[in-house]
Amino acid sequence: NTAGKPIHCKAAVARKAGEALVIEEIIVAPPKAHELRVRVLCSALCFSDIHFWRLKEPHGYYPRIFGHETVGVVESVGEGVEDVKVGDTVIPSFLAYCGECPDCTSLKSNQCSKLRFELSPYIRDGTSRFSDTKGQTIYHFGYTSGFSEYTVVDITHVTKVDPALRASRACLLGCGVSTGVGAAWKTADVEAGSTVAIFGLGVIGLSVAKGARLRGAKRIIGVDLNPEKAEIGKKVGVTHYLNPTDLGGKSASEVILEMTDGLGADYCFECVGLPSLGQEAFTCCRKGWGKTVILGVDKPDSQLILNSLVNSHSGKSITGVQYGGLKPNIDIPILAKRYLDKELQLDLFVTHEVKLEDINKAFKLLIEGKCLRTVIWM
C-alpha cells in the first residue's frame, strides 16, 4: 500500500526547451487535501505539449513534465476527497470546475472564474508534487502532467469515467477531440445545411469536421498543406480539400469566397495557431451571421489584427475558446457515451502507440505531421 507515502517511478522529464525528454526516476509526493494521486495508464501527445516545450524563459519552466491527454486510475486520495475513490478511472483536465462560481453555474462558460486557467507550472495549490532523486523540483503542466507513471491532480481538475472505455481512446477526450467537436457543437452551434471552413486538419480540425458532419453541415471545406489530409479528411466528413500550395496563386479564403458565390462560409475554424490563418478564416466568413472560432494555440505575445472598417460592421463574429467551450466534468461522460454508441469516432485518431521509453518518437512524428495521435503507454 503506497497511500500516504512518496512513490518512486518513471517519468518523461523535459529538462530544457526543445530538447529530447529524459526518462528518469522521479518522486511523486502523496496528494494533499482535495487532491488525488493517479496511476497513469496512458497519455496522448497534443501539439500544445510541443508548443510549450519549445518555449524558453520566461514562458518556459524546466524541468517539467508535460502531457494533458491522459487517463489513469486513482491510487490514493487526499483529505476531503469524496467524489472519487481509490480504483476509479479518471481523466484529468487542464480546465477546472468549482461548481459554484458564476461561470460554473452558467451554461454559457467553461472558464471557472474561481479557479482560473493559467499557464501555471504548478497544480492548483501553487506547489509541485514532483521532484527528482537529487531533490530538485520538477514543474507540472496544464494541472495534469500525464507523461509520468504517477501524477497528482486537484479534485477540481478530474472527471470520473466508465472503466469500460478503452484507455487509448479515453485519453483523447482530455483535449483535441473534445476541443474540435465542442467547437462545432457548442461554440459555433453548426446548423444543418451550412458551409464550414476548417483551417488545419490535425486532430482538432478533423474533430471539428466530424462534429459539423454529425450536425448535418452540407459543405465542409478543409484547408491543409499536407496532401495526405485529403484522404483522412474524407473519413470524417470533409467534402472539399484545399491545399494552399495548389490554388494557382490564390489564397484559401479567396477560393472559399468563390465557392460560396462571394458570400463566405457560415462557420470558420482556425485550428493551427497562426494569426494569419485567423485573419484568413475571418475574411471568408459570411457577413450577416458568420462565426469564426479560433482554436489553435498561438505564441504568448502575438497579435491578431483585423481591418476595423471592413470588419466591425459586418455582422460576423470571431471568438476564441478553450476545450471547444465544453465543461470537462459534464461533457466528457457525454462524449464517452457517444463513442460507446459508435457515433463519435475516436479509433481513427490513434495512429501510433509507443511505450514511455519511446516518447521522443511521438514528438518527432507529430512535429513532422506524420501522425494524428500517438498514445504513450506508461
**Nearer residue to ligand FXY within complex by CB, 59 or 355:** 59
User: Least distance to ligand FXY from the beta carbon of 182, Å?
Assistant: 12
Catalytic annotation on 313? no
Q: How many Å from the N-terminal Cα to the C-terminal Cα in the chain?
A: 20
Distance CA(275)–CA(283), nearest Å, equals: 12
Residue 142 interaction partner, one of Zn ion, ligand FXY, none, beta carbon < 5-8 Å per kind: ligand FXY
User: Least distance to Zn ion from the beta carbon of 104, Å?
Assistant: 3
**Nearer residue to ligand FXY within complex by CB, 217 or 372:** 372
User: Least distance to ligand FXY from the beta carbon of 299, Å?
Assistant: 11
The answer to whether 173 touches 146, Cβ cutoff 8 Å, is: no
Catalytic residue among 43, 48, 76, 128: 48
Residue 94 interaction partner, one of ligand FXY, Zn ion, none, beta carbon < 5-8 Å per kind: ligand FXY
The answer to whether 15 touches 62, Cβ cutoff 8 Å, is: yes
Residue 292 interaction partner, one of Zn ion, ligand FXY, none, beta carbon < 5-8 Å per kind: none
- By CB under 5 A, residue 98 contacts Zn ion: yes
Of 101, 304, 306, 354, the residue at the interface with Zn ion (CB under 5 A) is 101
Catalytic annotation on 68? yes
Catalytic annotation on 48? yes
The answer to whether 184 touches 103, Cβ cutoff 8 Å, is: no
Distance CA(197)–CA(337), nearest Å, equals: 27
Residue 156 interaction partner, one of Zn ion, ligand FXY, none, beta carbon < 5-8 Å per kind: none
Integer CA distances (angstroms), 95 to 84, 144, 159, 339, in order: 18, 10, 11, 22
Of 104, 208, 214, 378, the residue at the interface with Zn ion (CB under 5 A) is 104
Residues forming the site for ligand FXY (CB under 6 A): 46, 48, 68, 94, 142, 175, 297, 322
Q: Which residue has the cell 466530424?
A: 210
Name the segment binding Zn ion (CB under 5 A); options: 72-80, 111-119, 209-217, 329-337: 111-119
Residue 40 interaction partner, one of ligand FXY, Zn ion, none, beta carbon < 5-8 Å per kind: none
Catalytic residue among 9, 42, 43, 46: 46
CB-based closest residue to ligand FXY: 48
Residue 159 interaction partner, one of Zn ion, ligand FXY, none, beta carbon < 5-8 Å per kind: none
User: Least distance to ligand FXY from the beta carbon of 259, Å?
Assistant: 30
User: Least distance to Zn ion from the beta carbon of 346, Å?
Assistant: 15
User: Least distance to ligand FXY from the beta carbon of 231, Å?
Assistant: 25
Active site residues: 46, 48, 51, 68, 175
The residues binding Zn ion (CB under 5 A) are: 46, 48, 98, 101, 104, 112, 114, 175
